[in-house]
Amino acid sequence: MREALVNIEKMAFGGSGFGRVDGKACFVPFTAPDDEVRIRTIRDKHSYMEGEIVEIVTPSPVRVTPPCPVFGRCGGCDWQHLSYERQLAAKHEIFAETLYRIARVGAEQILPIVPSPQQYGYRSRIQLKLRHVSGELHVGFYRSGSHFVVDLPGRCAVAHPGINALLDGVATLIRNFPEPDKVPQVDVSVDEGGKTALVVHYIGGNPEGAAGYLEKAPVPTDGVLLQCGRKENLRHIKGIDSLSYSIGSFDSAGITEISLSYSAGSFSQVNLAQNKALVGTVREWCGLAGVERVLELFCGNGNFTFALAPMAREVVAAEDYAPSIADARRNARQLNVTNVRFEVADSATFVETLAARNERFDLVLLDPPRSGAREVVSFLPQLAPARILYVSCDPPTMARDLTTLTKGGYCVVRSQPFDMFPQTYHIESVTLLERK
């Protein structure tokens, strides 16, 4: 390993600062644009290198003091050392560069990033990592690139206050567990009304004993569930088993505030306030007039479905995780929505089947996981939608899929990035495509 001086030029996707050493690209975590840093190389490849800070020789003027004392060791946040204005600027720049480099989407098609209403205390769900070493329980998050647990300093800066209020109780619950070394993770969630739930992950050989302990133990929460192995094996222990949140109020259509529920342990957006902005943009861009047929893929519990249903003739929505479809159907009954058909189905297989049946849709909405929707988008042109709305949490995989769609006869009209995850490099977005 050698040392070198690096001037950091900008932030890069993945969270590191970018500079050059002897002309070679160099990525350094926890640096800021205009930092001059002395680094130690930890990886030297043919076309790039990675380094770690030895000394900040000249600090950047955009640096701020991180509020979390374990920032830089805990792997949860990347950018607490950057002012929020610089975080937003970096995300917009990264998003625009990624879409142009991979999909040739021009800067004029990208709208300014939407800031988060909250910079800290916004996360409604966290995954606490636990490790029991020499009789001592460590509760926190993994150090980046490792399974070493960095203990939380009493609270997490980005977690909702309702979650932070539970942390001491969760630690006590696990310390008294019959096999504390067999609990590697506890998911902690809070909903918009302040209700909380725990999902305790157990990897031991006595699930009935674990369930018995949780049934009798005093818990600091409104609901407890136990997960042994796969997510589908989630078991309700006591208290509530679902949480709720609002996706907004759509007065223009005569619709009051829409509240949705989801099972504890199922997917939901972690920034509930920003999710309302995301849903509102999807609704604004959908171009529905009440007569269209809509296909929604990766629909979850209906986060977007119930914003679009009042504006469409019919919505067909698919999701491969059966408990989320059960949530969506329950939401439909509670909201008295009758023009939606929910299917438990793999989205790629479902779209291929629809295409083989020559089915047609006016709008397709998809919200895939971080890996994108490579297999799905190749079949979408066969469904002949006039519009496609692509919601993404990963710009590179979305850009890859946009390339496929543009080759299939669609063009990108506009794309809106959202800061769903302040203090990290992650970027949420929605992109509108129309048939050429």
* Active-site residue list: 393
Helices 395-407 and 84-103: angle between axes, nearest 10 degrees: 30
Torsion of CA 292, 298, 391, 285, to 10 degrees: 20
Q: In what order do the strands lie in the sheet with 387-392?
A: 340-344, 314-319, 293-297, 363-366, 387-392, 428-435, 410-418
Contacts of 319 (CB under 8 A, 6+ apart): 298, 299, 300, 325, 328, 342, 343, 344, 345, 347
Structure tokens at 392: 């993404």
Q: Any idea what the Cα angle at residue 191 is, between residues 178 and 231, rounded to 5°?
A: 50
- Helix (H/G/I), strand (E/B), else coil: 317: strand
Contacts of 259 (CB under 8 A, 6+ apart): 192, 244, 245, 246, 247
Integer Cα distance of 27 and 21 in angstroms: 10
Contacts of 170 (CB under 8 A, 6+ apart): 128, 139, 186, 188, 198, 220
